[in-house]
């Protein structure tokens, strides 16, 4: 392995071994290490039952994360480690939940239920790599391939269909022919999956470096996950920065008149949905430099900054300069920051009513356009005009 393991990981593996149990690193961390990518976490699988694992770590903090599914989290030297008992999964009757989860003492059985060959390897610092399905070779060939028969695997659990696209987009792997054929053929089964799980995989996919290529080849699968979508723009997606989920989503959907329904159907946070819609709205807008303060007031600085990431360098620099200028001038970005308020207008003799709000809005606009300063006297004078 090109990586030395953190001490807490080695210690956890050896401690389980010392108690007579098998224990291995498994899944994403093994794949990433073989690819030369630093793993973001280390998952351990073991022959120990959850209670046995807890006994092995009786002297440290243990959290029963998902004990029904065999997972406990052990905090070793301040590092959380997920330790999961080897599992096999019973029949999938509904295409998304195994009808039973059984613990097993066999690593082979545990690896067999995993989705892709590159995700189905185990590693032990003394025993080396366990690679029953050619995962290492697939990494070398940059190939994403199901463990076992793709049709069966996607039928068992349709979420794997989107996981395939996500891993291909993340790793830059080609999808094996049989796996790819099954993706196209079984895409309709995505309707069995909850919107939340679809959204989580889709957004990770869109943020990944190779999402454009994947969408190009598997657009039909993408549309099966988002049946409300009427069009998506891969070229726009390409221009949005990698890793920026919001901009990638907004760019991809900006030309879809149905974008609002698409986003709603994903049941994302209100903030994410609103941010996306605002960016979609502004996507093609012509932004005049002198109107930057108006844009800042309308969108807020963070969203406007994000929007500028989608503009050509020269335009972006010009507009960023205007952002800095507007901030330096302490322009009032909200009506509430105006030097006068509704009560001042009424005191100046204007009749109360909805008209007051409109008047404040229009004063606000003039201040943002630098036609009048944000100054009490100047604003009152302007009203008298």
Q: How far is the CB of 188 from ligand ATP (least distance, A)?
A: 18
Comparing CB distances to Mg ion, the nearer of 32 and 138 is 32
Give the angle subtended at the CA of 278 by the CAs of 276 and 279, to the nearest 5°.
65
Give the angle subtended at the CA of 93 by the CAs of 90 and 99, to the nearest 5°.
35
Take residue 287 and report the two structure tokens written for it.
Answer: 């932004």
Q: Which does 138 bind (CB under 5 to 8 A by kind): ligand ATP, Mg ion, none?
A: none
Spatial distance between the Cα atoms of 263 and 276, rounded to a whole number of angstroms: 8
Comparing CB distances to ligand ATP, the nearer of 9 and 120 is 120
Q: Which does 114 bind (CB under 5 to 8 A by kind): ligand ATP, Mg ion, none?
A: ligand ATP
Take residue 231 and report the two structure tokens written for it.
Answer: 């069009």
Q: Which does 179 bind (CB under 5 to 8 A by kind): ligand ATP, Mg ion, none?
A: none
Comparing CB distances to ligand ATP, the nearer of 27 and 212 is 27
Binding piece for ligand ATP, criterion CB under 6 A, among 74-82, 153-161, 273-281, 315-323: 153-161
Does residue 27 interact with ligand ATP by CB under 6 A?
Answer: yes
Comparing CB distances to Mg ion, the nearer of 33 and 310 is 33
Q: Which does 115 bind (CB under 5 to 8 A by kind): Mg ion, ligand ATP, none?
A: ligand ATP
Interface positions, 94-123, toward ligand ATP (CB under 6 A): 114-115, 119-120
Residue 172 CB coordination number (10 Å): 15
Q: How far is the CB of 33 from Mg ion (least distance, A)?
A: 13
Binding piece for ligand ATP, criterion CB under 6 A, among 13-21, 157-165, 239-247, 317-325: 157-165
Q: Per-residue x/- mask for Mg ion, residues 1 to 40, rule CB under 5 A?
A: ---------------------------x------------
Q: How far is the CB of 138 from ligand ATP (least distance, A)?
A: 13
Q: How far is the CB of 260 from ligand ATP (least distance, A)?
A: 29
Residue 371 CB coordination number (10 Å): 10
Size of the site for ligand ATP (CB under 6 A): 10
Nearest CA to 119 among 245, 34, 52, 56?
Answer: 34
Comparing CB distances to ligand ATP, the nearer of 166 and 254 is 166
Q: How far is the CB of 5 from Mg ion (least distance, A)?
A: 16
Does residue 80 interact with Mg ion by CB under 5 A?
Answer: no
Residue nearest to ligand ATP (CB): 28
Spatial distance between the Cα atoms of 67 and 46, rounded to a whole number of angstroms: 14
At residue 170, φ and ψ (nearest 5 deg) are -75, -45
Q: Which does 157 bind (CB under 5 to 8 A by kind): Mg ion, ligand ATP, none?
A: ligand ATP
Comparing CB distances to Mg ion, the nearer of 28 and 95 is 28
Q: Which does 183 bind (CB under 5 to 8 A by kind): Mg ion, ligand ATP, none?
A: none
Does residue 187 interact with ligand ATP by CB under 6 A?
Answer: no
Comparing CB distances to ligand ATP, the nearer of 192 and 378 is 192
Q: How far is the CB of 116 from ligand ATP (least distance, A)?
A: 7
Which residues lie closer than 8 Å to 281 by C-beta, 6 or more apart? none
Binding site for Mg ion (CB under 5 A): 28
Binding site for ligand ATP (CB under 6 A): 27-28, 114-115, 119-120, 157, 159-160, 163
């Amino acid at each position: 392995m090109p990586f030395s393991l953190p001490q807490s990981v080695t210690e956890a593996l050896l401690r389980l071994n010392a108690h007579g149990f098998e224990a291995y690193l498994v899944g994403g961390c093994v794949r990433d290490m073989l690819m030369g990518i630093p793993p973001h976490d280390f998952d351990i699988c073991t022959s120990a039952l959850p209670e046995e694992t807890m006994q092995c770590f009786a002297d440290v903090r243990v959290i029963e994360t998902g004990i029904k599914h065999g997972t406990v989290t052990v905090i070793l030297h301040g590092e959380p480690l997920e330790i999961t008992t080897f599992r096999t999964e019973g029949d999938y009757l509904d295409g998304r939940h195994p009808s039973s989860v059984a613990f097993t003492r066999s690593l082979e059985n545990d690896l067999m239920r995993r989705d892709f060959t590159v995700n189905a390897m185990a590693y032990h610092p003394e025993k080396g790599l366990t690679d029953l399905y050619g995962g290492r070779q697939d990494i070398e060939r940059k190939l994403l391939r199901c463990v076992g028969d793709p049709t069966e695997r996607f039928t068992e659990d349709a979420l794997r269909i989107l996981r395939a696209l996500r891993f291909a987009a993340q790793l830059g792997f080609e999808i094996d022919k049989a796996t790819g054929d099954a993706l196209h053929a079984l895409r309709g089964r995505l309707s069995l999956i909850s919107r939340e799980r679809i959204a989580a995989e889709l957004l990770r996919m869109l943020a990944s470096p190779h999402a454009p290529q994947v969408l190009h080849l598997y657009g039909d699968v993408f549309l099966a996950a988002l049946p409300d979508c009427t069009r998506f723009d891969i070229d726009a997606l390409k221009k949005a920065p990698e890793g920026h989920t919001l901009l990638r989503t907004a760019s991809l959907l900006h030309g879809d008149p149905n974008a609002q329904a698409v986003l709603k159907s994903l049941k994302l946070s209100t903030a994410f949905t609103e941010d996306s819609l605002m960016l979609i709205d502004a996507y093609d807008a012509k932004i005049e430099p002198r109107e930057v303060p108006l844009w800042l007031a309308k969108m807020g600085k963070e969203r406007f900054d994000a929007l500028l990431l989608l503009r050509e360098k020269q335009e972006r620099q010009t507009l960023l300069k205007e952002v800095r200028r507007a901030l330096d001038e302490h322009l009032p970005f909200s009506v509430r920051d105006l030097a006068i308020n509704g009560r001042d207008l009424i005191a100046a003799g204007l009749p109360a009513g909805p008209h007051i709000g409109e008047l404040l809005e229009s004063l606000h606009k003039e201040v943002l356009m630098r036609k009048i300063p944000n100054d009490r006297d100047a604003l009152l004078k302007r009203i008298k005009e």
